[in-house]
Amino acid sequence: MWGVLWFCLALAPCYAKQIAIVIDDVGNHERDLELLNLPGQLSFSILPHTPYSQSFARLASQENKELLLHVPMQAIENKKLGPGALTLDMNKWQLQTTLGHALATLPQVKGVNNHMGSALTQYITPMVWTMEILKKRDLFFLDSRTTEQTQAQHAANLFGVRNIGRHVFLDNVLTQAALEAQLTVLKTLAEHQHGVIAIAHPYPETVKFLHKILPKLIEQGYELVPVSELVQHKYIQLAQQQSYLFTQVPARD
């Protein structure tokens, strides 16, 4: 009884009310550079080979902003993906070479997440090929979870790639009411979990909304953190759980 109680108390309160917000789809427009004026510790996911990817990465690094590579992956609807895309018709060499070239253009990134990918992430083989590259480069993977059938985190676990999943899309609908509703979901989750991850996009409506609500979140006691911090916390918690369970195994004579 007391062992279980200690276990819960030891793990539960450490990282309460932490929120990581990742801004996806960065790099196509000059106005994206203005995202760096948003308050708080945000993470930015940059599309490879886009007109402003390099300049954004350089300026963001100067301001100690966390960066991810936003890798285009094939969608079920066969939407236009843009340069650097990973598709189901690629063999292992093609996929890994494409991903490697994209990563080489943005050495500042700490992790990778998928742009679209509702088709590709459902297949274990291309996800395994992806994780092989991330493991070699010691990068984490954020699953944007564009499909419930995603195999991305399963493949990451197989290769020992640190990984985590998105909880909330903040701006799938751009009305004020919808943005407020998703923010409420985000805050509620943050009250009950060790940390939550929201993905947003550089739409003018979203940027205006974030400028308004980010200072309020901080005033309300929420902590804005880079997504890598929540990845680290996840694996600290897993190590604590394993350590606790190991200590409960009776010693043999």
How many other CB atoms are there within 10 angstroms of residue 243's CB atom? 9
How many other CB atoms are there within 10 angstroms of residue 91's CB atom? 10
- Residue 175: per-residue pLDDT: 98
- Residue 4: per-residue pLDDT: 35
Residue 7: is its pLDDT beyond 50?
Answer: no
pLDDT band, very low/low/confident/very high, at 74 (cuts 50, 70, 90): very high
Angstrom distance (rounded) from CA 43 to CA 199? 10
- Residue 8: per-residue pLDDT: 40
- Residue 250: per-residue pLDDT: 58
- Residue 249: per-residue pLDDT: 54
- Chain center to CA of 210: 18
- Residue 244: per-residue pLDDT: 58
Helix and strand tally (H, E) in the chain?
8, 9
Q: How high does pLDDT run on average in the chain?
A: 92
Domain assignments of the chain as residue spans, ordered by start: 15-246
CATH of 15-246, one of 3.10.180.10, 3.30.2270.10, 3.20.20.370, 3.40.640.10: 3.20.20.370
Task: Compute the residue count for the chain.
Answer: 253
pLDDT tens digit string along 39-68? 999 999 999 999 999 999 999 999 999 999
pTM: 0.90
